[in-house]
Chain A
Amino acid sequence: MSQREGNKVDLQSYSSASSFSHLEAKIRQTHSLARLLTSYAEQLLQEYVQHQGDPFGLPSFSPPGLPVPGLNSPAPAHSGLPTLERLQLDAAALNSLSPLLDDIRRLQADLNPFARRLLRRLEDASHQSRALGSAVEVVLGALGATPGPPGPHPMLPESPGVFLAKLLGYRVCGLYQEWVICTEGDLGQLLRAGLG
Chain B
Amino acid sequence: MSLNLPRTLRNLLRLRAPVSFSPGHSLTPAPPLLVPDSPWTCFSPELRGRRMLRAPGGGLRQGAALPTARTMLALALLAFGALRAGSGSYLAVIAPQDPTLLIGSSLHATCSVSVSGSDAPTAEGLYWTLNGRRLAPELSQILNATTLGLALANLNGSKQQSGDNLVCHARDGSILAGSCLYVGLPPEKPVNISCWSKNMKDLTCRWFPGTQGETFLHTNYTLKYKLRWYGQDNTCQEYHTVGPYSCHIPKDLALFTPYEIWVEATNRLGSARSEVVTLDILDVVTTDPPPDVHVSRVGGLEDQLSVHWNSPPALKDFLFQAKYQIRYRVEDSVEWKVVDDVSNQTSCRLAGLKPGTVYFVQVRCNPFGIYGSKKAGIWSEWSHPTAASTPRSERQGSSGACEPRGGEPSSMPVRRELKQFLGWLKKHSYCPNLSFRLYDQWRAWMQKSHKTRNQDEGLLSSGRRSTARGPTWR
CA gap between A107 and B275 in the complex, in Å? 34
A72 CA / B174 CA spacing, docked (Å): 20
* Distance from B236 Cβ to chain A, minimum over Cβ atoms (Å): 17
- The residues of A that contact B69 with a CB separation of less than 8 Å are 152
CB-defined interface of A99-131 with B at 8 Å, one 1/0 digit per residue? 000000000000111100000000000000000
Cβ of B164 and Cβ of A89 under 8 Å apart?
no
Query: Is A72 a contact of B64 with CB atoms below 8 Å?
Result: yes
Report if B409 contacts A (CB, 8 A): no
Question: Known: A60-B173, A72-B42, A74-B64. Contact between A114 and B161, CB under 8 A?
Answer: yes
Nearest-Cβ distance from residue B74 to partner chain A, whole angstroms: 4
Secondary structure class of chain B's binding surface, majority of residues: loop
Contacts of A81 in B (CB 8 A): 62-63
Name which of B35, B69, B163, B174 has the most chain A CB atoms within 10 A of its CB: B163
Q: Quick check: A112 and B65 within 8 Å, CB to CB?
A: no
Instruction: Give A6 Cβ to nearest chain B Cβ, in Å.
Output: 17
Contact B50 A96 (CB under 8 A): no
Q: What residues of chain B lie closer than 8 Å to A68, measured between beta carbons?
A: 77
Q: Tell me if A76 and B35 are in contact (CB < 8 A).
A: no
CB-CB < 8 A to A111: which residues of B?
A: 161-163
Indicate whether B33 reaches chain A with its CB closer than 8 angstroms.
yes
In the complex, the answer to whether A162 meets B133 with C-beta atoms within 8 Å is no
Q: How many residues of A contact B (CB 8 A)?
A: 60
Interface status of A191 (Cβ within 8 A of chain B):
no
Bound CA span A152–B71, Å: 10
Verify B165–A62 contact, CB threshold 8 A.
no
Q: Which residues of A contact B30 (CB under 8 A)?
A: 161, 164
Q: Which residue in B18, B98, B175 is a CB contact (below 8 Å) of A62?
A: B175
> Is the pair A54, B67 in contact by a Cβ cutoff of 8 Å?
no
Verify B18–A73 contact, CB threshold 8 A: no
Q: Known contacts A74-B43, A162-B20: does B164 contact A92 (CB below 8 Å)?
A: no
Q: A65-B35, A112-B161 are in contact. Are A166 and B17 (CB under 8 A)?
A: no
Within the complex, the shortest CB–CB distance from B29 to chain A, in Å, comes to 10
Q: Which residues of B contact A73 (CB under 8 A)?
A: 40-44
Is B179 an interface position by the 8 A CB rule? yes
Cα of A154 to Cα of B73 in the assembled complex, Å: 6
**B407, chain A: closest CB distance, angstroms:** 75
Q: Knowing A52-B165, A177-B47 touch, does A67 contact B179 (C-beta < 8 A)?
A: no
B49 at the A/B interface (Cβ < 8 Å)? yes
Of chain B, the residue at the smallest CB distance from A100 is B77
Task: Tell me if B159 is interfacial: C-beta within 8 Å of chain A.
Answer: yes
A143 touches B (CB below 8 Å): no
Identify which of A52, A59, A166 contacts B49 (C-beta below 8 A): A59
Q: What is the bound-complex CA distance between A108 and B62, given in angstroms?
A: 32
Q: Is B375 an interface residue (CB 8 A)?
A: no
Q: Report the bound CA distance from A22 to B179 in whole Å.
A: 53
Which of B5, B52, B162 is within 8 Å of A52, CB to CB?
B162
Does A26 have its Cβ within 8 Å of any Cβ on chain B? no
A5 at interface, CB cutoff 8 A = no
Contact with A along B55-97 (1 / 0, CB 8 A): 0000011111111011011101111110000000000000001
Tell me if B175 and A63 are in contact (CB < 8 A).
Answer: yes
Q: Check if A70 sits within 8 Å of B47, measured CB to CB.
A: no
Contact: B70 with A55, CB < 8 Å? no
* Complex CA–CA separation, A61 to B66 (angstroms): 29
In the complex, residue of chain B having the shortest beta-carbon distance to the beta carbon of A59: B49
* Smallest CB-CB A-B distances: 4 pairs: A54-B132, A163-B178, A151-B66, A55-B132
19 A-B pairs besides A164-B33, A177-B47 with CB distance below 8 A are A52-B165, A53-B132, A70-B73, A72-B38, A77-B60, A77-B62, A78-B63, A89-B64, A92-B64, A92-B66, A112-B161, A112-B162, A113-B218, A114-B161, A161-B98, A161-B178, A163-B165, A163-B178, A164-B81
